[in-house]
Amino acid sequence: MIKILLLEDDPNLAKSLMKYLQRYDYEVDWAKQGEEAIDLSYDNKYDLYLFDVNVPLVNGIDVLTGLRQAEDRTPTIIISAQIDIDSMSKGFAAGADDYVKKPFDPEELLLRIKAKTMQLKERILVHGYSLDVNSNEVYHDNVLYGMGEVQKSIFIELLSAYPNPASKELLMEALVTQNDGALRVNIVKLKKETGLKIEAVRGVGYKIL
């Protein structure tokens, strides 16, 4: 099920939007103000953010800016009554993927949500890296990421398994010399190259934290 974080301070709009999206099998968490949205984003893994701009404490643009600075690349749609070019520009500059002007037709928003979540089915997103499941290509911040074949094969297995561990047996298949020492060396190289935290899971394999 696709999981969405909705940041909206209007309870009537939020409740009606949640009810509408749940009809189409989306799971929606509701934050009434910016700090609550930040807390929820750190405690949960979401597939999509829906952020209003004018909300209490921390506005939606600042919330998104902070998330992007923390390397959270979750697709984000801004929903706002501010329809001037300057406001829209600020939204996209903060890292928004789309911008919907209030008042909006729920069906239009649903189409935009489907367009963003369809992309999720074709890509696995992990800490700024993504795996195109059709081409088996790895990207970093949407730029093709170049790496050796052994490292790439190991990385693909780790990305595919995230947030669960990839089995040692699968990871070994990428190696020319298949032993624990060679696997550990390649994991260390991968951690250094990508900057990701990768740890051993005893009796299973390795996982990206």
For the stretch 61-101, pLDDT in tens is: 999 999 999 888 888 999 988 877 888 888 899 999 899 98
Residue 167 in this model has a pLDDT that exceeds 80: yes
Burial call 127-153: b when 16+ CB within 10 Å, e when fewer: bbbbbeeeeeebeeeeeebebeeebbb
Over residues 91-130, the pLDDT tens digits come to 899 999 899 988 889 999 999 998 887 766 567 888 888 8
**What is residue 13's predicted lDDT score, i.e. its pLDDT?**
94
pLDDT the model gives residue 121: 59
Please state, in angstroms and rounded to a whole number, the distance separating the CA atoms of residues 51 and 21: 15
Quote the CA–CA distance of 1 and 11 in Å, as a whole number.
24
Q: Tokens 């939007």 label which residue?
A: 17
HSE-CB at 171 with a 13 A cutoff on CA atoms is 27
Position 130 scores a pLDDT of: 85
